[in-house]
Amino acid sequence: MEDEALFEFLHMEMVAHVYKKHTSREETEQERGKCISVLERMGFRVGQGLIERFTKDTPSFKDDLDLMKFLCKDFWIYVFRKQIDNLRTNHQGTYVLQDNKFRLLTQLSNGKQYLEEAPKYLAYTCGMVRGALSNLGVESVVTAEVSSLPSCEFPLI
């Protein structure tokens, strides 16, 4: 429990630090893309390192679906202590990972309050997933969608 709290607080501080420079509201709007990409890049490198550790003892993957299953089960458990709740795919390379109780959002609210603040807290995770996949040889685009806190979706292409 303690170590999870550490990561959560560090993540909060990271987000706060990246956004700190922009005080006024318009400025924040302008710099949104830049801030998101900073967080995303941090996540990317972390994902690369993590996947190297996690897949050390697993057998090699058969195909992409096998890989996605690993990501949803083992990877998510390692990082967020729970599995992805729902994995959907169109069998053409697009996957949607759905987490009904995303750890980094559970503290925010339980409904639509703070909905516009939510994307900040997802950029890092997007980067992490993208880094993990890229290290396994899959180039992808990972985005995040929130319709109602604390559940969120990660469509990846």
Positions in the binding site for other proteins (CB under 8 A): 45, 48-49, 51-53, 55-56, 58-63, 135-137
Minimum CB distance to other proteins smaller for 25 or for 62: 62
Nearest-approach distance from CB 1 to other proteins, in angstroms: 24
Nearest-approach distance from CB 60 to other proteins, in angstroms: 5
Nearest-approach distance from CB 120 to other proteins, in angstroms: 23
Nearest-approach distance from CB 154 to other proteins, in angstroms: 21
Nearest-approach distance from CB 59 to other proteins, in angstroms: 4
Is residue 54 within 8 Å of 78, Cβ to Cβ?
yes
Can you give the chain as a three-state secondary structure string? CHHHHHHHHHHHHHHHHHHHCCCCHHHHHHHHHHHHHHHHHHHHHHHHHHHHHHCCCCCCCCCHHHHHHHHHHHHHHHHHCCCCCEEEECCCCCEEEEECCCCCCCCCCCCCCCHHHCCHHHHHHHHHHHHHHHHCCCCCCECCEEEECCEEEEEEC
Minimum CB distance to other proteins smaller for 13 or for 29: 13
Phi–psi pair at 71, nearest 5 degrees: -60, -45
Minimum CB distance to other proteins smaller for 2 or for 57: 57
Minimum CB distance to other proteins smaller for 46 or for 115: 46
Minimum CB distance to other proteins smaller for 31 or for 74: 74
